[in-house]
Amino acid sequence: MALFQADVARSVDFGPMTVGRVLRALDRVQRPFTAEDAKTVFCAAELQSLGMTVAAAAELLGEFSSELQFVLKTPANRCWIVSLVTAKGGHSRLTCHTMHHLEGLLDAHPFASVLPLHEIVSRATERFKRLEAAKEAA
């Protein structure tokens, strides 16, 4: 049974317009709603549960949409988003795909913030599976 945007919106307590904003940030509009889109909305909800606003979560997911696709396609793929404060007070974000790369980066920048994107996607995928099972049972 197919999931609709409204099903996902109710599941994460978002309004339909909020779901639309998340999908627009990832340039996923004017096309049928897919399982990947649903998982992306669940990722935004997971980021919100960590204290981000939905707008900031959508912006972050849009900025790292390729990495999000990388992790969504294969659950074994790993990706960490690392936020750094530069010497001039600016901010930069980059990704690591291996633990070795992450360790090296954290050695060089011990005060960096790390967001394990693969864990966010894993939790979002579990929420998606639960919603799908509940819809099948109904």
What is the domain range of residue 85?
5-137
pLDDT at 1: 64
Element containing residue 19 per DSSP (H, E): helix 16-25
Q: How many domains does the chain have?
A: 1
Among 52, 36, 46, 37, smallest CA distance to 12 is for 46
Give CA torsion, residues 43, 45, 47, 52, to 10 deg: 150
**Tokens 């633990």 map to which residue?**
99
pLDDT of residue 99: 97
Write down the pTM of the prediction: 0.91
Sheet strands side by side (includes 91-96): 91-96, 80-85, 113-116
pLDDT in tens for each of the 138 residues of the chain? 688 899 999 999 998 889 999 999 888 888 899 999 999 999 999 999 999 999 999 999 999 999 999 999 998 999 999 999 877 888 899 999 999 999 999 999 999 999 999 999 999 999 999 999 999 987
State residue 106's pLDDT score. 95
